[in-house]
Amino acid sequence: MSFKKLNFFKLALALLGLLAAGEAWCIWERASAVRAAEQKLVLVRAQIQAVADAAPAPSRETAAMIEADLKRAQLALATMQSELRGRGPAAARLAATKPPAMRTDAFFDLATFVSKSRALAQKQGVLIGSGAANFGFSLYANEGPETALIEPVFRQRLVANYLVDALLAARPRALLAVQRERPLHAEERKARNEALAAAAADPAAAPPAPLESSTTLSPDYFDLDARLSAQAPGLVEVFGFRLIFTGQTAALRALLNQLASFELPIIVRSVEVEPAAGEDLVAAPADEAASATQPAAPAVSIVLSAPVAKAAKPVATIAPLVAKSISKFTVTVEYVELAPVPAVAAATP
């Protein structure tokens, strides 16, 4: 064999060795990658099995149970919504009555309410103070509310009518005032709800600036403490009312028992009691005062065969151990109304 052929043979062997070494390295690298992939696959399968054990895959039985739970939740929601709308004729009347369309109609509606309430108070023997002469609607004694406020004022009138009737049925001594929260225009209500929602979303943010104090606008208005309110923007709308009256504790108890029947979704927020004095203490009716001060006339008998007996001395009236006290009550309530739920758009395929 010549020298050139020997060198060519050695070069071929070297190239074959290098090729074999490269193939061996590729096989080792592929084997390492396969082992890593197998380990990763085992880990992923373990994770999938853990998830499957925690939340089993839906089956026909699981789907049936989910549908049953959904129906129960929907029934409970419908029941709660129905209860929050009240029950009985008062709730049905509130739901069925439509607000007036014109300011003139709203004025006559309020005038009729005031007239009927005065007649009922006279029938029940309840005195009406100057602050309650229009039962919380003195702003509209001569004209109806502006067009943007017809609907909220009308709903306040319906609730106030129920409250006044319940109070007069309890027969207090005198009704001193009926107050309500200031109704808001749609834009004002929207701005207030947005401010409340923003404050709730960011507790660190400054609280929204309060609206102008309602008490400076009219004696019909009062400001309900926001900490006592069930207001939830977009979910629950509320109207606050305040009844101020004098009488005995029995009148307060009768009023609270009537409100507890939940004919309308009215929640008692606070009850303040103080002794009635000064202008709040009204004079007793004439017949009651007379019966309390005049003793009964003594009976005189005459016997012909005996000297006339001296008339018996009037028996002094015995004062009761516990005198009937007259108190001044301030009852703050809140009418709760569910906001209409927007319709859910149907899912597009």
Using pLDDT thresholds of 50, 70 and 90, give the confidence band for residue 343: very low
Token pair recorded at residue 13: 């062997």
Any idea of the CA torsion for 245, 251, 257, 262, to the nearest 10 degrees? -30
pTM above 0.85, yes or no: no
> Does the pLDDT value for residue 244 go beyond 70?
yes
* pLDDT for position 330: 94
Residue 183: other Cβ atoms inside 10 A: 20
Are 266 and 335 contacting, i.e. CB atoms less than 8 angstroms apart? Answer: yes
Tens digits of residue pLDDT in 170-205: 999 999 999 998 888 777 777 766 666 666 666 665
Query: Distance between CA atoms of 331 and 170, rounded to whole angstroms?
Result: 14
* pLDDT for position 207: 53
Tens digits of residue pLDDT in 260-312: 888 888 889 899 999 888 766 654 444 443 333 344 334 333 333 444 445 55
Tens digits of residue pLDDT in 119-140: 999 999 999 998 899 999 999 9
